[in-house]
């Protein structure tokens, strides 16, 4: 619980993909419902020891970061990020586009990727050229789509299945 920008109590059930995604994406809006900078309701988390995030933009045709929250230890190289929440220790390679995404810690996103309306689970490695959130029918075959059809969940297990690695009965790689 916390207070929103009008001083009212803020609480959200984040038990679904849609509600988890929406509560995070709301934080990057102009007037978010939860004021994470309100000193009278400090948000306490597990402090992460991380170096500052780095941004490299060598190409002028790349639109850099816009309306986004970026955690510590991220390295962004010639990538476009908009309306997204990136947790800590994320690496995004050249010419990738991340839009309306929640990216959990320790994710690597390859070159020339397009990610839209996604939740990327921790420790995922998105291969070069992968497009998620662009072709709904293709996404349904590869990933989990929320009940509203708006949000796509990507886990490392799903990515390993795409690579052709076998998954055992208990969800472990064979």
Which pTM was predicted?
A: 0.87
User: In angstroms, rounded to a whole number, what is the distance separating the alpha carbons of residues 153 and 68?
Assistant: 19
List the chain pLDDT tens, one digit each, 174 residues. 555 556 677 788 889 999 999 999 999 998 888 888 888 877 777 677 889 999 999 887 778 899 999 999 999 999 999 999 999 999 999 999 999 999 999 999 999 999 999 999 999 999 999 999 999 999 999 999 999 999 999 999 999 988 886 555 544 443
3-class DSSP state of 164: coil
Contact 48, 63 (CB under 8 A): no
Q: Domains in the chain, start-ordered, CATH in brackets?
A: 54-162 (2.160.10.10)
**Distance from first CA to last CA of the chain, Å, rounded?**
42
Note the pLDDT of residue 165: 63
User: In angstroms, rounded to a whole number, what is the distance separating the alpha carbons of residues 161 and 174?
Assistant: 11
Contact 147, 130 (CB under 8 A): no
């Amino acid at each position: 619980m916390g207070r929103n920008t009008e001083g009212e109590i803020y609480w959200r059930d984040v038990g679904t993909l849609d509600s988890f995604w929406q509560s995070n994406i709301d934080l990057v809006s102009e007037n978010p419902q939860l004021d994470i900078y309100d000193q009278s309701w400090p948000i306490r988390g597990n402090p992460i020891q991380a170096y500052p995030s780095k941004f490299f933009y060598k190409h002028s045709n790349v639109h850099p970061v816009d309306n986004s929250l970026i955690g510590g230890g991220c390295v962004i190289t010639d990538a476009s990020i908009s309306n997204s929440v990136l947790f800590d220790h994320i690496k995004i390679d050249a010419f990738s586009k991340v839009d309306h995404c929640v990216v959990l810690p320790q994710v690597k996103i390859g070159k020339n990727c397009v990610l839209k309306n996604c939740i990327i689970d921790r420790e995922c490695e998105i291969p070069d050229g992968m497009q998620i959130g662009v072709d709904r029918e293709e996404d349904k075959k590869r990933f989990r789509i929320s009940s509203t059809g708006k949000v796509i969940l990507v886990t490392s297990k799903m990515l390993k299945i795409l690579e052709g690695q076998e998954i055992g009965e208990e969800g472990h790689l064979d």
